[in-house]
A and B are shown apart, each in its own frame.
Chain A
Amino acid sequence: METDASPAIVFDHVSVTRSGLNILDQVNASVPRGSCTVLIGPNGAGKTTLLLALLGEVSYRGSITLGGGRGLRIGYVPQKLVLDRGMPFTVAEFLSMGVQKRPLWLGISRDAKKQATALLELVHATHLIRRRVGTLSGGEMQRVLLALALQQDPELLVLDEPSAGVDFEGGRLFCELLDDLRKSRGFTQIMVSHDLGMVAHHATCVICLKRRVIAQGPPAKVLTGEVLQTLFGMHMGLICAQDHLHSMPAGNEQNAPCGEHHHG
């Protein structure tokens, strides 16, 4: 029976094969509601493929259940946007194209502009409204893409390496912004990240992926030497991660139970 306590996403024996190669092999995992779940793993582990399967962009075997079967409204923030940098396309238009009925060649309506400004306020980027999308820096682009995703009033926010191409400070601020938004708007967040420090500080649930699920659960329980060695084949990650874990704020485990490794 469906309840609000059901996981936001359940991956059940999800496999993806491309050109005879197993990209994902029998992935079983669940993403708790309201959690910040991070997919980690080495290059080629299938993290982005799992997100694309979730978005229906790649075909897969097995099943992916969203919101206990009733589906979820999704907001998606890609790693980057391949755009013609010289294209005259303003941030205001970018944030109006999905909500305005009137074609943009008749101008932006007052309502759409108000909504675009409100969205940019949420991501602390109102100053970008008149800028061309092609001239935005990596960090600015991430905020505008996040604003576009938030326009969907998402129940599930999907992010593919949001801090890639952003400097350390920018990445940290972006993660803090995501934490605040998640708490205030109550969405579930699933993201791919390579940054174990960020994972330790911001994730409430971690899924370790290397074509199949190696481990899943709260970061304090999952980011162990054994798991990281299986995942990355070396101890470097462990040293960094354990340092972060010792200094991890207590509030980090506030969210719903996470995955198989949780013992409630």
Chain B
Amino acid sequence: MVDLSWLFHLASLFPLDGMDMRFMQQALVALVLLAPMTAALGVQVVCYRMAFFSDAVGHSAFAGVAIGLVLGVNPHISMPLFGLAVGLIIMFMQRFSALPSDTVIGVVFSAVVASGLAVVSRNNTIARDLQQFLYGDILTMTETDICWLIALFVLFVLFQIFAFNRLLYSSTSSIIAKAHRVPVAFFEYLFAALLALVVMFSVWGVGVLLVTAMLIVPAASARNLASSAGGMFWWAILVSLSSAVAGLSLSVQPWMGTATGATIILVSCAWFVVSVVVSSVRNERQS
């Protein structure tokens, strides 16, 4: 196991009550790693119109855990692997099926949710975990999870360096991109795989119900605030990171006492409202 104590020590310096506790330090580190990933991938999800895709992958989390428990595999391994498989299956079916994209996703979505529920209905001991997947709990992130998140973060940074421009090209028009010799399929599969893994880790933090919000809301706010595609990338990260840190800080206040995932999303929704106002004022000035 990699020694992460320096990272947790750094997190303990954050001026917030309770940061002396390890689970709070782990939660902060996990959020600081997750937020930029969901934000930047969210920009690409908005460009590709893939919100439904990420929703379907998120909803496969419970089936991943349930199947893992039935097969005796650690849920922390079975869940991301199952999500990855679901993501790649959807991409494959979209490419080679004559069905519209949302129909393909709808079929896979139904299949994974039904599989999860079918397994759960046979085994009551798994059923009690359901609530954690619905609402998530960033405070239960383990040190091993954080090691995996760091590895994923490195992959994410490399991907954004090498694939950002190509993905922008293919999301603008895959036909033009292919005609102009961009290996569209390669980048799309890579993107789907990375997105599926990030979605699965986000499910631990904010739950199945809010995972799509974590991708979409910062990107939607950034769309209103930025004036270029590069700017949108940075705005999304700023919105997501600040929402994550503020959401964690607020949720642990005694007078709030709310779920961390939900509080994070509420803060980013407040960002979105501000972005709508800024965008309206800007448009009015220009007209």
- What's the least CB distance linking A73 to chain B, in Å? 8
Q: Are A55 and B226 in contact (CB under 8 A)?
A: no
- Give the residue name and chain of the A residue nearest to B170 (CB): A97
Given contacts A97-B165, A105-B234, contact A90 B179 (CB under 8 A): no
- Is B176 engaged at the interface, CB distance under 8 Å to the other chain? yes
Given contacts A55-B178, A76-B175, contact A93 B228 (CB under 8 A): yes
Given contacts A75-B179, A98-B180, A104-B165, contact A93 B229 (CB under 8 A): yes
From the candidates B161, B178, B181, B230, name the one contacting A93 in the complex (CB within 8 A).
Answer: B230
- Is A233 engaged at the interface, CB distance under 8 Å to the other chain? no
Q: Are B231 and A103 in contact (CB under 8 A)?
A: no
List of B residues within 8 angstroms of A20 by Cβ: none
Q: How large is the interface on B (under 10, 10 to 19, 20 to 34, 35 or more residues)?
A: 20 to 34
- What's the least CB distance linking B84 to chain A, in Å? 24
From the candidates A56, A107, A149, name the one contacting B230 in the complex (CB within 8 A).
Answer: A107
List of B residues within 8 angstroms of A94 by Cβ: 172
Given contacts A98-B169, A98-B180, contact A86 B228 (CB under 8 A): no
- Is A74 engaged at the interface, CB distance under 8 Å to the other chain? yes
- What's the least CB distance linking B180 to chain A, in Å? 5
Q: Are A106 and B178 in contact (CB under 8 A)?
A: no
Cβ proximity bits B156-189 to A, threshold 8 Å, 1 near / 0 not: 0000111011101100110110111110000000
Given contacts A103-B160, A103-B161, A105-B160, contact A88 B232 (CB under 8 A): yes
- Is B47 engaged at the interface, CB distance under 8 Å to the other chain? yes
Q: Are B175 and A78 in contact (CB under 8 A)?
A: yes
Q: Are A104 and B173 in contact (CB under 8 A)?
A: no
The majority secondary structure among interface residues of chain B is: helix
Given contacts A98-B180, A104-B164, A105-B164, contact A87 B223 (CB under 8 A): yes
List of B residues within 8 angstroms of A75 by Cβ: 179-180
- Is A126 engaged at the interface, CB distance under 8 Å to the other chain? no
- Is A158 engaged at the interface, CB distance under 8 Å to the other chain? yes
Given contacts A76-B176, A98-B182, A152-B180, contact A104 B230 (CB under 8 A): yes
- What's the least CB distance linking B152 to chain A, in Å? 18
Q: Are A78 and B234 in contact (CB under 8 A)?
A: no
**Please, how many angstroms separate the alpha-carbon atoms of A76 and B176 in the complex?**
6
Cβ proximity bits A44-57 to B, threshold 8 Å, 1 near / 0 not: 00000000100111
Given contacts A55-B175, A75-B179, contact A88 B165 (CB under 8 A): no
Q: Are B176 and A148 in contact (CB under 8 A)?
A: yes
From the candidates B172, B180, B223, name the one contacting A88 in the complex (CB within 8 A).
Answer: B223
List of A residues within 8 angstroms of B175 by Cβ: 52, 55, 57, 76, 78
List of A residues within 8 angstroms of B182 by Cβ: 98
Q: Are A88 and B160 in contact (CB under 8 A)?
A: no
**Please, how many angstroms separate the alpha-carbon atoms of A97 and B184 in the complex?**
14
From the candidates A55, A82, A104, A151, name the one contacting B229 in the complex (CB within 8 A).
Answer: A104
- Is A240 engaged at the interface, CB distance under 8 Å to the other chain? no
- Is B227 engaged at the interface, CB distance under 8 Å to the other chain? yes
- Give the residue name and chain of the A residue nearest to B236 (CB): A105
- Is A81 engaged at the interface, CB distance under 8 Å to the other chain? yes
- What's the least CB distance linking A189 to chain B, in Å? 14
**Please, how many angstroms separate the alpha-carbon atoms of A110 and B160 in the complex?**
21
- What's the least CB distance linking B40 to chain A, in Å? 8
**Please, how many angstroms separate the alpha-carbon atoms of A52 and B234 in the complex?**
37
- What's the least CB distance linking B158 to chain A, in Å? 11
- What's the least CB distance linking A133 to chain B, in Å? 8
Q: Are A87 and B179 in contact (CB under 8 A)?
A: no
Residues of A within 8 A of B (CB): 52, 55-57, 74-76, 78, 81-84, 86-90, 93-94, 96-98, 100, 103-108, 132, 145, 148-149, 151-152, 158
Q: A76-B180, A90-B227, A105-B233 are in contact. List 18 more A-B contacts (CB 8 A).
A: A52-B175, A57-B175, A74-B179, A81-B173, A87-B46, A88-B226, A88-B231, A89-B168, A89-B172, A94-B172, A97-B166, A97-B168, A97-B172, A98-B165, A103-B164, A105-B160, A105-B229, A145-B176
Query: What are the 10 tightest A-B residue pairs by CB atom distance, in nearest-first order?
Result: A76-B179, A105-B233, A103-B164, A88-B226, A105-B230, A97-B165, A104-B230, A89-B229, A97-B168, A97-B169
5 contacts between A and B (CB under 8 A): A56-B178, A75-B179, A90-B229, A98-B182, A106-B230
